[in-house]
Amino acid sequence: MRYTIGFPGTDPADLLVNETIFHNANGYIGVRSCFEEGYAPGINSIRGSYINGFYDFAEMKQAEKLCGLIEEKQTMLNVADTQGIKLFIDDEEFSLWNGAVLEGSRTLDMEKGFTERRILWRSPRGKEAEIRIRRLASFTRLPLFLIDYSVRALNFSGVLRFVSTHKGDVRNYSNPDDPRVAAESVHYLTPVRADIEGTSSFISSDTVRSGLRVCTGVTHTLRPEDGAAADCLPDTAVRKSGHRAETEIITTLEKGGTAQLLKYSVFTDSLRYADCEQRARRELREAAEGGPETVYRAQEAYLADFWDKAYLKIEGDEKLNTAVTYNMYQLLQSAGKDAHGTIAAKGLSGEGYEGHYFWDTEMYIEPFFTLTVPEIGRNFISYRHATLGEARKNAGALGHKRGALFPWRTIMGRECSGYFPSGTAQYHINGDIAWSVVSYYLAAGDFDFIVEKGAELLFECARLWMDAGVWYKGRFEIHCVTGPDEYTCLVNNNYFTNLAAKFNLRWAVRFYAMLREAGALESLARKIDLTADEIAGFEKAEQAMYLPYDEELGINPQDDSFLSKKRWDLANTPKEDFPLLLHYHPLHLYRRQVCKQADTVLAHFIFEDAQSEETIRKSFLYYEGITTHDSSLSTCIFSIAASRLGFREKAYAYFGDSAMLDLYNTHGNTKDGIHTANMGGVWMAIVYGFGGVRIAESGLSFSPRLPEQWQACCFRIAYRDSRVQVEMTGTGTTFTLLTGTEKIIQVYGKPLTLRDTLRVAGE
């Protein structure tokens, strides 16, 4: 599984996109794929290295200081630059902007877990060298980033000189014209210590306001042609200047010979390590002692296990299959592997949205991990539980006396959304988190985790609805909130929000009964002062929850006032006016029937049992005509909905728009980072859409519908103690129980027993 492009040239726009496409990450660290030697003068680069969950505070100025408005946010930091390596052949400096590139390629190897840049270069004086640079962020030694830099002399003998840099005085990228990234470059890190220890360098920096520390360490090994590690580096000098270190390595190379420079970098932080500086020294020493072969073997073994669990293959469209494989690999690279961080909107590939976590995690990404690598999905929920205290404070700041309200965007648990109409007002995030907890429980059957963390999350989220809602004429309503559609803000009874709250309340009641029956309730009830009377209130509100419905159209209105607004004429809107949010004032958008993304359509997918088939169908067709899909989260949901309704051509068209987004930069903003939620949505469009997978209390069900453009599609999912493979072809579907105990599954509504292999004809 490789993605390779030929020599991409030196166009500045392409360079920025490829920094994202070929970035290296492992869920803890992420490093953008910038050229080690740098670019020509005047060419911009977003040169960054990031740690998941590591942040500083930044001011967020409000024009009017109204009560409760957020004036401080967290932002992900560019923590250090350890990428720099300049190569000199005799006295000629290697660069794509001088000499001549005879051949070139960039490759991402998704089975071995590294990226590679290969260049056949002729110097201005005619010396020819093959340069191969591999980069890797280790999945098994999370602080480690490795650059494996080799040079083969094709037509010369001479002197090689490497100049490798380690910089602690770095800043974040900024763009005042793009609301998705920071508007100004602020000094977030203060280098406090730089040490040279033998041939290794260590730089420690403190955040300006959050009180965190990061330590980065760098060391090198030079290997001759036979691959044996040299006892010492020949002609090596390490120099320190302020909070930068520079290592110069000089060696000779005979014609036909190869020299291999190994640059080990480690990143550690005080969030995870009591002494991040000592941990950096230990990690660097152990990585270098083990050598690159140990790192490569562990990386390949880790990915072999991952691809075995997350196997998905499309036959009949290799380009699409590569894009989908790329998306899954990037989800793995982006996903936090502990409770200190989850998965940001751009993963660890860039600074778009400043490294913030959104509802994307629960609704678009967690399903992928829950059904492939459940322990990662469990980590996401653990992160929310770890920030529950901040969510309680957030609820209090908005005037709620009980319960928790999770922030719309955050890193460490506090709200970072300065524009509350389309941020903090999206109370549905509580329901999204509740849905993720229940989905994990239904798929994994992990009741112990519900006792430990999941139930408390649901209870505290449910309390929020009781305080935010109001009883009116015998029904329970929720006013002045914003649903998923950010072109319609601060409304009463958003359908998605009310239905998510109903789901949350129902499962809070359900978990209360389950914990009581298991004898596991008393401790938690005492901890959060939960009573039977409060649970009875949950049940009453759930049963009386108001869900808007229009008799004349036979649809669920997005909210109470939505259908009374003037309908936006999308067909006659100039193409250059999209996305609308960049060309029209928010109030202009809020007063019209126009959707940025799936809202009610999303509700009909997530909570499909709440409405009849006819209502879901009519609603889909109605909202299809007024949705711009200006959000990358939208077309994948429309694809799933279309699959469920039998609109097969539409399902495939919406799916194609989603699948290619990053690898082919279809939205034109991949330079700022990948779109992790869309990547998860693409997987859902295949598994939940074309595969028709559903998991409910009643069990596991399938309604496979293979797109006619494909010859076959095969995927694997985890369910309880088992792993199931689903292979769809034009004539039917084969279900195989790969591991675990036999299962009763439903296929097209018919219960079947899966013991080994089961073949079902197409519908």
Q: Which residues are catalytic?
A: 486
The CA distances from residue 442 to 436, 446, 695, 699, in Å, are 10, 8, 7, 8
CB crowding 582-617: b at 16 or more within 10 Å, else e: eebeeeebbebbbbbbbbbbbbbbbbeebbeeebbb
Q: Omega before 407 cis (within 30°)?
A: no
Radius of gyration of the chain (CA): 27
The per-residue DSSP string of 587-651 comes to HHHHTEE-BSS-SHHHHHHHTGGGS-HHHHHHHHHHHHTTB---STTSHHHHHHHHHHHT-HHHH
Q: Which of 635, 608, 630, 634 is nearest to 619 (CA)?
A: 608
Those residues whose C-beta lies under 8 Å from the C-beta of residue 235, and which sit 6 or more positions away, are 249, 250, 251
Query: In 10 A of CB 223, how many CB atoms?
Result: 18
CA angle 58, 64, 70 (to 5 degrees): 35
Q: Which of 96, 128, 112 is nearest to 10 (CA)?
A: 96
CA 375 to chain centre: 16
Q: Which of 76, 87, 50 is nearest to 248 (CA)?
A: 87
Quote the crossing angle between the two packed helices 676-684 and 648-659, to the nearest 10°: 150
The per-residue DSSP string of 634-697 comes to SHHHHHHHHHHHT-HHHHHHHHHHHHTTTTTTTTS-GGG---HHHHHHHHHIIIIIIS--EEET
Tokens 């020599």 -> residue: 7
Enclosing H/E stretch for 307: helix 276-309
CA dist., res. 105 & res. 132, Å (int): 10
What tokens appear for 410 in the block? 């955050």
CB 687 within 8 A of CB 693: yes
**If you ran DSSP here, which 8-state letter would residue 568 be given?**
P
Half-sphere exposure of 56 (CA within 13 A, CB side): 21
**If you ran DSSP here, which 8-state letter would residue 566 be given?**
E
The per-residue DSSP string of 85-143 comes to EEEEETTEEP-TTSSEEEEEEEEEETTTTEEEEEEEEE-TTS-EEEEEEEEEE-SSSTT
Tokens 């205290």 -> residue: 389
Those residues whose C-beta lies under 8 Å from the C-beta of residue 692, and which sit 6 or more positions away, are 643, 644, 701, 702, 703, 704, 705
CA dist., res. 442 & res. 9, Å (int): 49
CA dist., res. 187 & res. 291, Å (int): 36
Q: Which of 452, 364, 410 is nearest to 688 (CA)?
A: 364
Three-class DSSP labels, 447-464:
HHHHHHHHHHHHHHHHHH
Half-sphere exposure of 262 (CA within 13 A, CB side): 23
CB 80 within 8 A of CB 157: no
CB 168 within 8 A of CB 244: yes
What tokens appear for 279 in the block? 């941990």
CA dist., res. 594 & res. 326, Å (int): 32
CA dist., res. 432 & res. 445, Å (int): 19
